[in-house]
Structure 1
Amino acid sequence: MSRPSTLSVVIRRIIAAIPSILGVIIVTFILTRALPGDPAAYFAGPAATQEAIDQIRETLGLNRSLPEQFIIYVGELLRGDLGNSLTTGQTVLSDLLTRLPASLELTLAGLLFSLTLALPLGILAATRPGSWLDHGVRVLATAGVSLPTFFTGLLLIYVFYFRLGIAPAPLGRLAILYSSPDQITGLFLVDSLLAGDFETFQAAFGQLILPAVTLGLFALAPLTRVTRASMLSVLSSDFIRTARASGLAPSMILFGYAFRNALLPVVTTLGVVFSFLLGANVLVEKVFAWPGIGSYAVSALIASDYAAVQGFVLTMALLYVVLNLLIDLLYTVIDPRAGVES
């Protein structure tokens, strides 16, 4: 039986994701209407009269029944309109497009830091099972996931900024003395390099280190554990014993055969961890004043800003679908036998 083409895999994954996205739209719409508070009263201000509040509620369409509001909301979604945010006064789409690169840059940096540690530590632990190194790696990974991200962030700020003075102030993506690079990708590190502005690159990199390490330490445990378990399973397999008996170099056996075959579970975990970090880095963004979509969603929740909350949840759902699709396609690169036939 022939393996499906990449295009057919993409089409099947998109079709399979449609019910999930519809479910997200319905559930989010219902839950946002159950939030405490009145967005019309918040928008009108504390000194507004009841008549003014009622007028705003009518303007926002909140005086209509829930079915009518839902039909209007779905119609706007089909036109690509996510509505306007009450807290910023801008369209939700423009707010998300402005803030999403900040969250992506932070999450990718944290994930890169975590991978840099998790893969070598997992491989070392798997090659020496039961040793002091193996136990030390497991303790380190457990400690990283046991500490809340906000506590880790505050601790890093206290040590490296307040006590040692070697880290910049946790005031967002750039210090006030620097201006943002010309937006190409929205990622400050990439845009500053493309513009040849190495001073801004250095400043943006300095601001990114502590929040990225905070996220990376939290993601270290699952990636290290999965790498270790997957490598242990592969190293005990028959083809590895055959390779050793054939006299192949240990480095070739470890990285050319064992690590490649152990990558599939690691990639699966990597996708799950990335999705989780992208949606759960709100505490890190608050601690470091990072202008991402997580802090934007919190502000919207406090203000009962329906459109902003719905836009945030829908964006996260779409990102999760795209990420799962990329993981499925990456399977075939790592191991063509995977075939993603499901």
Structure 2
Amino acid sequence: MLRQIGKRLSIAIPSVIGVIIVTFLLTRVLPGDPAVYFAGPAATPQAIEEIRKSLGLDKSMPEQFVRYVKDLSTGNFGNSLTTGQSVASDIASRLPASAELTLLGLLISILIAVPLGIVAAVKQGSVIDHACRIVATAGVSLPVFFTGLILVYVFYFRLGWSPAPLGRLDIFYSAPPHVTGFYLIDSLLAGQFETFRAALSQLILPAATLAIFSLAPITRMTRASMLAVLASDFVRTARASGLSPRAVIITYAFRNAMLPVITTLGMVFSFLLGANVLVEKVFAWPGIGSYAIEALIASDFAPVQGFVLTMAIMYVLLNLMIDMLYGVIDPRVRLEG
């Protein structure tokens, strides 16, 4: 297992290096001048030039890149000009909000999509199978921001069942003591059950938006993978041996159908991190997606670079976890690696 992890990391390191280079170059060719933006419309050319020097933008591109890499090697992502804080601290404070939202949305999606895909495969051509196809088609067709706006309109504006989409907590509640950064977990650890209820009520609509977005690929892959396994010889043998339908489906069929589903879950999680940007703007969620958008509008290079690099590292770790799960589920994968 350690050998397999080392092999995967050796492949991932060049990818991270490529992301660093591409991100640096892309932020430098974006329209807009940070010095002009932060100097203000009434600034003189001399004041703009002084700001440019303080930001290091007066140096050549190779010099700027060398400085950027040196800072990264010490864990310094730079400072955000919009917040005045270090990018690392900004990302550390906002990442739990995005992670909590993404993980809850993915969990809701898994709890609905996987059973739905299994039942649709077992009862092929039934009403449930047709409902599965409708859910998959609707999930693919609806843009994530449109789904969020519809949910806000129905459940907040029309029915009044949901609180105002204005962040992680209602204004009448204060954040729980920081332990993990996840308000649901931290409020339970502190015994603040009212805060837990308030945080959960704020989470439901944005998490449901992400869940609807991710239902389609998980459901379709679960159904397709289960259909392929159910038609295999070893499943027929298990049924002929007199095993119960539940044992055949769960123990034999689903376990062998899990590898494509796990791969899809990894891809969906990556998609959700990208879709978070739109969902966070719709629900005023203080995550890293909205943080990156605000920095991009302001031509603030450091937060954008920190955001992209953080996402790249998360993708690498996610793929590593998926490879490890492959070995746990199917030992043949571990032996081949």
TM tier, shorter chain? Answer: over 0.9
Counterpart in the other structure of 1:96: 91
Greater shift in the superposed pair: 329-338 or 32-41: 329-338
1:277 counterpart residue number: 272
Pairing partner for 1:212 from 182, 207, 212: 207
Counterpart residue identity of residue 246, structure 1: S
Asked whether 1:121 is paired with 2:116, we answer: yes
2:252 corresponds to which residue? 257
| 2:98–2:289 Cα contact (<8 Å) kept | yes
**Alignment partner of 1:65 is 2:54:** no
Deviation (angstroms), 1:299 = 0.6
Greater shift, 319-328 or 130-139, is seen at: 130-139
Over aligned residue pairs, what C-alpha RMSD do you find? 1.0
The answer to whether the Cα contact below 8 Å between 1:279 and 1:316 also exists between their aligned partners in 2 is no
TM-score, normalization: structure 1?
Answer: 0.97
Match of 2:49 among 41, 50, 54: 54
Establish whether residue 167 from structure 1 lines up as the match of residue 162 from structure 2.
yes
Q: Distance in 2 between matches of 1:171 and 1:340?
A: 50
Percent same amino acid among aligned pairs? 69
Give the 3-state SS of the residue equivalent to 2:176 in structure 1: coil
Secondary structure of the residue aligned to 1:262 is helix
Aligned to 1:3: none
Counterpart Cα distance in 2 of 1:211 and 1:179: 20
- Please point out which of 168, 184, 187 is paired with 2:182: 187
Runs (5+) with no aligned partner, structure 2: none
2: distance between equivalents of 1:259 and 1:196?
38
Correspondence for 1:105:
100
Question: In the TM superposition, what is the alpha-carbon distance from 1:341 to its structure 2 partner?
Answer: 3.9
Answering whether residue 127 of structure 2 is matched by residue 137 of structure 1, we say no
1:90-110 CA-to-partner distances (Å, cap 9, x unmatched) read: 000001001100000000011
The reply to whether residue 308 of structure 1 matches residue 308 of structure 2 is no
Which residue pairs with 1:38 in the alignment?
33
2:35 partner letter = A
- Tell me the CA shift for residue 256 of structure 1: 1.1
CA deviations 1:103-141 (Å, max 9, x no partner) are 000000110111011011101110122233212211111
Separation in structure 1 between the aligned mates of residue 302 and residue 332 of structure 2, nearest angstrom: 44
- Per-residue deviation, 1:272: 0.8
- In the alignment, residue 206 of structure 2 is paired with which amino acid? P
Task: Give the match's secondary structure for 1:339.
Answer: helix
Q: CA deviation at 1:42?
A: 1.3
Identify if the C-alpha distance between structure 1 residues 175 and 340 changes in structure 2 by more than 3 Å, giving closer, same or farther: farther
Helix, strand or coil: the match of 1:281? helix
Of 282, 289, 292, the residue aligned with 2:287 is: 292
Contact residue 328 and residue 340 of structure 1 kept, 8 A: no
Partner of 1:86: 81
Higher deviation after alignment, 296-305 or 328-337:
328-337
Q: Contact 1:168–1:207 (CA<8 Å) still a contact in 2?
A: yes
Distance in 1 separating the partners of 2:172 and 2:7: 49
2:313 is aligned to 318
**1:241-252 map, 5 Å:** 241-252=236-247
Paired with 1:69 and 1:269, the residues of 2 have a C-alpha distance of 39
- Structure 1 contact 267–327 (Cα < 8 Å) conserved: yes
Q: 1:341 to 1:76 in 2, by over 3 A?
A: farther
Q: Note the C-alpha offset of 1:340.
A: 6.7
Find the residue that maps to 1:90 and give its secondary structure: coil
> In structure 1, what is the Cα distance between the partners aligned to 2:167 and 2:213?
20
**Which range moves more in the overlay, 120-129 or 42-51?**
42-51
